Each structure stands twice: as C-alpha cells, then as structure tokens.
Amino acid sequence: MTFLLDVSAFLIAIMLLLAVFNFFTLRVVSSKNSASIDQSVSILIPMRNEAENVIELITLLKEQANLSNFEIIALDDSSGDNTKELLLGLSQDNLKVIAGRELEEGWLGKNYACYQLAAAATGDYLVFLDADVRLDPRAVASTIESMRAWNWDFISAYPRQIALTFLERLTQPLLQWSWFTTLPLRITQKWPRPSTVVANGQFMVIKRKAYFDCDGHRGVKAEVLDDLFLARNLVRAGAKGGVADGSRVSYCRMYSSASQLIAGYAKSQWSAFVNPLGALIAIALLTLTSIFPFIAGLAGELSGWYLYFAIVMTRSIKRDKDKNDSSTSLLHPLSALIWIYLISISWIKKYRGELSWRGRKL
C-alpha cells in the first residue's frame, strides 16, 4: 500500500499544482465594457426535438447587444416534436429557420446540421450554440472582443454548468475538472499542439476563414466529440485559440434527468479515448487519485486522508467557483466511481452497436 500511496501522492501533487496554475491564469470572458462589434456575426443553432428550449433561447438571442450586424439561423433537424412550428412562429427580422436535409451516409446528425448551418451563414464570425445554452445580452460581443484582444481565431467559451439533481451535481463538475487538473491551459494555448487542445461545443465562436480553412464540420463528420476534434483540426490548420471561462456570460443545463445524463455520457465517453487500453489507463489513474486515497484513509492510513483532502481541493478551487461543485466536492470518490461506470457502459454500448442519441443510431 505504501508504494501505491507514494504514486497517488505524486499524481495528486501534479494535479493540485495544475489546478492552482489554471485558477490564476485561465482566460476569462467578461461582459464588462464590451465594445460594439462591426463585423458580421452568424449565430447558428442545430435543433432536434428542442421544443422546450425554442422560445426562451430565441427570445434571449434577439436581445444580443453591441452587434452591428448579426443573424440567427436555426436548423430543424427532422424533429419529432413541434420545434419547427415554434421556430417558424418566431421567424422574423434576423431569425432564419431552415429545414435540415436528410442525413447523408457517413455523417452524424449534429455534425451535418452544423455543416449546413455554416454553409447558410454569411457572418465573419460563426457562433455555434447548443439549444440548452443561455447567453448574457452581451455574451457574443464580449466573446468576440476577447478573441480580438487575445488574437484568437476560435474560442470555446465554457458556460457555467447548471446542476440541479444529485446525480448532476456529482457528475457535471467533472467535465471541467478533467482538463483543469491535467493541462496547463495557458501554456498549451501559447504553444499549441492538437493533442493538448480541449474544447466544449456548447458555445463556440470561430472566424469564418479559420472554420473553412480546416474543412469545418465536414472534417469531423463522423466524430461524436465533434467539438474537440474540430478544435484540433483548427490548430492543425494554423488557427490560434482554445478554451476560456465563459461562466460570466453563459450558462447551460445539459441534462434534466438521470436517464438523459446516462444516455448522453454513454454516447460519447468512448470517443474521449484512443482505444479501450486508453480507457483502462484513464480508469486506473482515476481510481488511484480519486478513490484509493479515501479507501486507504478508511483502512487507517493517515496519509490517505491527506491525499483525499488534496484531491477534493482540486475540485474546490476550480475557476468558476461553481456552488453546486463546492457542495459535492467531498463526495469526489463517488463522482469518480460514477464516471468510471459511464466510461465502461459507453465502451460496452460501442461494441454492442447500441449507441444512439435523440432517436438516431450512432
């Protein structure tokens, strides 16, 4: 046990140092003093069975300030509910509603929808937005202004994650924690490599030229984690950018039930790793850093408790200071167990050919 505790201590020390580094250096998008954006902007929203989000989302988007010339394009991707009817009822002025074409072979649904949206857009900046994201009135202008200040060609502005149920509060903070404790983000953005790029596609802004130079979503048409692989392709093509804290200008509740959450992670977790071996290594590291210290502490090892509180601290110092996270940080070993379960069922469903999302087989 002593050897395992030593290895665990070494890994947790690195994670804690990275968390502290990112806390002080992570770039932040702020809505304060946002200037007017003169370039044209296209806000692009792929929608499939999003009736519950349509009215609130579009109403808020129409109130975007400090944009001299912007359009909103929503694509209805063969919804089975009344998404299309609601969109058409709101269609006026700068909102354009288009019907998605029949899914072509070799494409995943959302990727094809985003590809069609980009083709229909006229803006100098392309804003890809998930339907469950809500934006501050100056969010788009502030994000573009940040891009210009940092000389970036693309940005993944990570929204504040709303977690209401107990399962959400245990799992959702792990999204940001996973890269917050494993990468020195400011350094990887200054000297970018595709393998160290991270991104979240909930709220992503890309310069038009950079998007088409890397072949856009056509270059990632079969990728479940299209946001991550699109960001990597952007870097390969010479674009500058990365992830930033967008919690001051945006928020998102990804899943509203346990079944949605499990299905959502099951469809994508396998794609986060190169192969099953990569997943096993990740599970081993997660166990060693997030579960083993707690078990060692229960077994009477005082150092186990020190390590347990150290890994909890990596959760507590995340940049967005998420209240939901701070209240569940002490349950981090349980969060890690749930994540291991989600990774496992994702690979099982992958090999059984059972992956699906929103009524479509993946």
Q: Tell me the residue type at 3.
A: F
Q: What is the pLDDT of residue 228?
A: 95
The predicted pLDDT at position 55 comes to 93
Tokens read off for 15? 């994670």
pLDDT beyond 80 at 159: yes
The 3-state DSSP class for residue 69 equals strand
144 close to 170: Cβ distance less than 8 angstroms? no
Q: What is the DSSP letter of 287?
A: I
Q: What is the pLDDT of residues 198-245, one digit of tens each?
A: 999 999 999 999 999 999 999 999 999 999 999 999 999 999 999 999
Residue type, 311: I
Which pLDDT does position 247 carry in this prediction? Answer: 92
pLDDT exceeds 80 at position 96: yes
Model confidence over 253-301: pLDDT tens digits? 998 888 889 988 888 888 888 788 889 999 999 999 999 999 999 999 9
Domain ranges in the chain are 2-24+259-361, 37-254
Q: Are 143 and 154 in contact (CB under 8 A)?
A: no
Element (H, E) at 39: strand 37-47
CA angle 73, 225, 136 (to 5 degrees): 45
pLDDT higher than 60, residue 322: no
CA distance 203 to 240: 17
CATH 3.90.550.10 for the 37-254 domain, yes or no: yes
In sequence order, what E strands does the chain have? 37-47, 67-76, 95-99, 125-129, 133-135, 154-158, 160-161, 203-207, 241-245, 250-252, 356-357, 360-361
Rg over alpha carbons for the chain, rounded to the nearest Å, is: 21
Mean pLDDT of 158-181: 91
**pLDDT at position 60:** 92
